[in-house]
Amino acid sequence: MSDSELYARKLPRHVAIIMDGNGRWARKRGLPRFAGHKAGMDSVRAMVKGCLERGIEYLTLFAFSSENWRRPAEEVGLLMNLFMTALDMEVKKLHKHGVRLRIIGDCSAFAPELQKRIAAAEELTSGNTALNLIIAANYGGRWDITQACRFVAEQVARGELAADAITPAVIETHLSLAGLPEPDLFIRTGGEQRISNFLLWQLAYTELYFTPLLWPEFDEQAFAAALESFASRQRRFGRTGEQVEQLLDA
Ligand code: IPE
Ligand code: IPE
Ligand code: MG
């Protein structure tokens, strides 16, 4: 893709979302935190629908961070169960709609049964092209960069790569989202304005959008508002605003 095509784009190709605020949503209603995680599934469905309708090609959702193991064991267990159930209930429907499902993160920490279902869902949907749905589970941006560096270091140790041949492009080929376009739009619900160890490398030039809406409240209309905000921005990637205007006029 040429620079002018990238700068002119009013619709993101790749949206990445931190789905935050489930616990607070539930507590506001006097419900256990888990009820919020369950309610958040409707918002996930709404985002998938919204992306399919608009032809947004990549949707990456942060479902469980490498730090979320610090939560009470009961909540972690319930989240793992929800993950399993969601895989069972939703994968057929996703497949029917042409969605390719991928999980990024350190899956080795999950129960063998969950790992099996993840692999089966990825395999079943591997030929689909309507939308790439990427779920970040036991994911951490630092973990991602570290494991990429480990691969590269092993290549150097084997004498296959010179240390001075290591470029950002080389590192990129070993990251979880290798070869995929970087997120154009990042959304975080729940009111916090932080990255919480999400896609640290890939968010370098992503447009950031924060909303106080809690994740179960984030519906199609709220998504449309985020997309509108994206469309109104001028991305410059280091250039000046005048240069960007010239590029777009050319
Ligand atoms: C996000 O909602 C979901 C996960 C981290 C799994 P939270 O559970 O963090 O909700 P709050 O931030 O406590 O409201
Ligand atoms: C980030 O939310 C992780 C997910 C949404 C999966 P957290 O609720 O874990 O983030 P912090 O702890 O408030 O930064
Ligand atoms: Mg939270």
**Is 176 within the bounds of a domain?**
no
Q: Each residue of 180-212: pLDDT tens digit?
A: 999 999 999 999 999 999 999 999 999 999 999
Tens digit of pLDDT for each residue in 211-222? Answer: 999 999 999 999
- Flag whether the pTM goes above 0.95: yes
Is residue 3 pLDDT above 90, yes or no?
no
Amino acid at 27: R
234: pLDDT confidence band, cut at 50, 70 and 90? very high
- How far the first Cα of the chain sits from its last, in Å, is 15
> Region 129-143: what's the mean pLDDT?
98
| 169 inside domain | no
Q: Is 74 in the pocket of ligand 2 (CB under 6 A)?
A: no
Residue-level pLDDT at 159: 98
- Contact of 22 with 40, CB cutoff 8 Å: yes
Q: Can you give the residue range of the structural domain that contains 41?
A: 3-145+184-249
Q: Which atom of ligand 2 is nearest to the CA of 190?
A: 8
Looking at residue 250, its pLDDT comes to 84
- Extract the tokens encoding 185: 């739009």
79 touches ligand 1 (CB under 6 Å): yes
Query: Is residue 161 domain-resident?
Result: no
Whether 68 sits among the annotated catalytic residues: the reply is yes
Residue whose CA is closest, atom 1 of ligand 1?
A: 20
Secondary structure of 170-237 in the HEC alphabet? HHHCCCCCCCCCCCCEEEECCCCCCCCCCCCCCCCCCEEEECCCCHHHCCHHHHHHHHHHHHCCCCCC
Judge whether 155 lies within some domain.
no
Q: Annotated catalytic residue: which of 68, 106, 128, 219?
A: 68
Question: Does 178 map to a domain?
Answer: no
Q: Ligand 1: which of 17, 18, 19, 22 to mutate, judged by most atoms within 8 Å of the beta carbon? A: 22
Tell me phi and psi for residue 178, to 5 degrees: -50, 130
- Work out the mean pLDDT of the chain and round it to a whole number: 97
Ligand 2 contact, 197 CB (< 6 A): no
68 lines ligand 2 (CB under 6 A): yes
Q: For residue range 73-103, what is the model confidence (pLDDT) as tens digits?
A: 999 999 999 999 999 899 999 999 999 999 9
Strand 99-104 and strand 131-139: pairing? parallel
Confirm whether 100 is domain-assigned.
Answer: yes
Give yes or no for residue 22 CB within 6 A of ligand 1. Answer: yes
**228 burial via Cβ count (<10 Å: 0-12, 13-18, 19+):** exposed
Q: How much distance in Å is there from the Cα of 24 to the middle of ligand 1? A: 8
Q: What angle do CA 118, 87, 27 make, to 5 degrees?
A: 120
Q: What CATH number is associated with residue 74? A: 3.40.1180.10
Active site residue 132: no
Q: What is the CA radius of gyration of the chain?
A: 19
Q: Determine, yes or no, domain membership for 151.
A: no
Average pLDDT on 117-142 reads: 98
Answer yes or no: is the C-beta of 15 below 6 A from any ligand 2 atom: no
Q: How confident is the model at residue 7 (pLDDT cuts 50, 70, 90)?
A: confident
Per-residue b or e along 8-41, where b marks 16 or more CB atoms closer than 10 Å to that residue's CB: eeeebbbbbbbbbbbbbbbeeeeeebbbbbbbbb
Q: What is the mean pLDDT of residues 121-132?
A: 98
Q: Which residues surround ligand 3, an ion (CB under 5 A)?
A: 20
> Nearest CA to 126 among 94, 148, 87?
94
Overall number of domains in the chain: 1
167: left (phi over 0), alpha (psi -120 to 50) or beta: beta
* Three-state SS at 81: helix
Q: Is the pLDDT of residue 108 over 90?
A: yes
Tell me whether residue 220 is in a domain.
yes
Instruction: Give me 129's structure tokens.
Output: 């092209």
pLDDT at 1: 74
Q: What is the mean pLDDT of residues 153-172?
A: 98
